Amino acid sequence: MDNTLDLKTRTGLPEALRVLVADFPRDEWQAHANFAGLVAFWLDRHMMFRRLSEALRTDAEAAVDGKMRPEQLHPRISRFGGMLVQQLHGHHQIEDMHYFPVLSAKETALQRGFDILDRDHHAMDGLLDRFTRSANGVLQGQAEPGTFREEVLSFEAMLLRHLEDEEDLIVPVILKHGPDGLQ
């Protein structure tokens, strides 16, 4: 696969994979008849991932700046970091095993996009492992919050890229075809 499509380096999906987002622009999603239910729930999960990574980054920055003590930081890393890792793993499993196969069958011309998203999930497994090791290092007193902050920044950048691309590919397919076979 083209290196420009790698999660670490891409700046978005190729235009050929964004054909449906042109027909179903983001600012019109909520008004669409197929938005309520599955799409709204799915986007809410993505918002949760964004908020958790933002909270972890903000906390790590506060710790680095001396505005948060370790006894304040540690429970937040444990709670929010654990939630982010567990929920992302489960979310990706459902997408890989159920949503992606069903949706790619509805829009076979977008198969390359689903392959990219699947590849992202595999890349994110390694990122989540690194993130977990970094968080555990802080929790065990073996790493400084600055190291964790750098890991969160790296992870967050790739997470946000993946979520945006996934939404641009998947939401228009569900809006066009409806949620049949997905729930």
Q: Is the pLDDT of residue 3 over 90?
A: no
Interval 52-66 mean pLDDT: 97
Tokens encoding 115: 């392959």
Interval 38-50 mean pLDDT: 97
Give the Å distances, CA to CA, from 76 to 58, 63, 85, 136, 140: 11, 11, 14, 12, 14
Closest CA to 162 of 70, 46, 54: 46
Q: Is the pLDDT of residue 182 over 90?
A: no
- Which domains, from first to last, does the chain contain? 32-177 (1.20.120)
Give 183's pLDDT tier (boundaries 50, 70, 90): low
Residue type, 180: D
Tokens encoding 11: 């700046």
Interval 78-98 mean pLDDT: 96
CA–CA dist 106, 86 (Å, integer): 29
Interval 28-47 mean pLDDT: 96
Give the Å distances, CA to CA, from 131 to 122, 127, 137, 150, 162: 14, 6, 10, 10, 16
What pLDDT score does 90 carry? 95
Concatenate the DSSP letters of all residues of 52-100 into one string: HHHHHHHHHHHHHTTSS-HHHHHHHIIIIIHHHHHHHHHHHHHIIIIIH
Summarised one tens digit per residue, pLDDT across range 104-120 is 999 999 999 999 999 99
Q: Is the pLDDT of residue 1 over 70?
A: no
Give 180's pLDDT tier (boundaries 50, 70, 90): confident
What pLDDT score does 125 carry? 93
Summarised one tens digit per residue, pLDDT across range 123-154 is 999 999 999 999 999 999 999 999 999 999 99
What pLDDT score does 155 carry? 95
Provide φ and ψ at 32, rounded to 5°: -75, 145
Percent of the chain with pLDDT over 70: 98
Provide φ and ψ at 143, rounded to 5°: -145, 155
